[in-house]
Amino acid sequence: MSGPTTQGLELRGLTLELGAKGNLKQILRGIDLDIPGGSITGLAGESGSGKTMTGLAICGLQPAGSRLGGTISYTSPRTTTPNLLALRPRGMNALRGREIAMIFQDPTASLHPMMTIEAQLTDGMRHHLKVSRSEARERALALLERVRVPDPATALRKYPHQFSGGQLQRIAIAIALAAEPSVLIADEPTTALDVTVQAGILRLLRELCDTLDLAILLVTHDLGVMSALADTVTVMRYGEVVEHGSRYQVIREPRSAYTKALIDALPHPPEENTMEGTL
């Protein structure tokens, strides 16, 4: 963990309700979560516990008809917003991509199949940063280098189907970082990848977090991934936080019976999944 930070998110009492009267579904029931810069904040829990909805709500991408409550405050070197939920759609659109970016389990979901990597990397940059075409291209090359895509100049001319899943996730990360956001929401970023390429992506996220002072929310049902990478871990169940603490505390000395059961269900003891060991 790094020291005092000037950027990040604070969720307080975040609620999300879906459905009409008589058929109300409480998806999030008052989530408290800090996502500071220079740190990887892990969000764990079984499928359906509300992890993805938490990430989507932060980005203002919750399903149509959702009702949100509580506050999400956001601070970066450029701007301070006491509550993202109070922003008008226009204000939220300006923040999304620019300040807060998201990557998903399936990188092809966030990539356009018919556009070159260059077009996809430079679009957001030109929109948010108002840079020229040639400057955008320079930045695109630098970004591909930063995420370790081999031969960036050739990669810019290619289309998504010409890359492997692992390379595509690196490209999706580069696109997410194109407008220099302060927060990256990574929802199951390695779940769809071969185990052999997972560690490389996780190592990259760690490096980006440390070098860019990024606030990363790492959403994963995989406590093995969590124990290898996250600085702090929050465990959710049925839309509530059941446990929160440092990685060490949550993995080694879980307080809730639910977290304990999740850890006991791991195929390998989590101690084997240290950064030094796995990554």
Ligand X SMILES: Nc1ncnc2c1ncn2[C@@H]1O[C@H](COP(=O)(O)OP(=O)(O)O)[C@@H](O)[C@H]1O
Where do contacts with Mg ion occur on this chain (CB under 5 A)?
A: 52
User: In the complex, what is the shortest distance from the CB of residue 49 to ligand X, in angstroms, rounded to a whole number?
Assistant: 4
Residue 18 binding: pick among ligand X, Mg ion, none (C-beta 5-8 Å cut-off by kind): ligand X
Distances (CA, A) of 207 to 4, 38, 39: 19, 10, 11
| Residue 129 · residue 179 · CB < 8 Å | yes
User: In the complex, what is the shortest distance from the CB of residue 7 to ligand X, in angstroms, rounded to a whole number?
Assistant: 25
Helices (H), 59-160: 89-95, 117-129, 133-146, 152-157
User: In the complex, what is the shortest distance from the CB of residue 15 to ligand X, in angstroms, rounded to a whole number?
Assistant: 13
Regarding 45 and contact with ligand X (CB under 6 A), the answer is yes
Which residue in 7, 8, 41, 51 binds ligand X (CB under 6 A)?
A: 51
- Provide the 8-state DSSP code for 22: T
User: In the complex, what is the shortest distance from the CB of residue 55 to ligand X, in angstroms, rounded to a whole number?
Assistant: 8
User: In the complex, what is the shortest distance from the CB of residue 45 to ligand X, in angstroms, rounded to a whole number?
Assistant: 6
Going by C-alpha positions, the residue among 254, 251, 163, 214 that lies closest to residue 39 is 214
Separation between Cα atoms, residue 67 and residue 15, nearest integer Å: 8
Separation between Cα atoms, residue 13 and residue 32, nearest integer Å: 5
CB-closest chain residue to ligand X: 52
Closer Cβ to Mg ion, 44 or 95, answer by number: 44
| Residue 100 · residue 183 · CB < 8 Å | yes
Which residue in 38, 50, 97, 152 binds ligand X (CB under 6 A)?
A: 50
Regarding 49 and contact with ligand X (CB under 6 A), the answer is yes
Full strand arrangement of the beta sheet holding 240-246 = 100-103, 183-187, 215-219, 39-44, 232-237, 240-246
Residue 124 binding: pick among ligand X, Mg ion, none (C-beta 5-8 Å cut-off by kind): none
Residue 49 binding: pick among ligand X, Mg ion, none (C-beta 5-8 Å cut-off by kind): ligand X
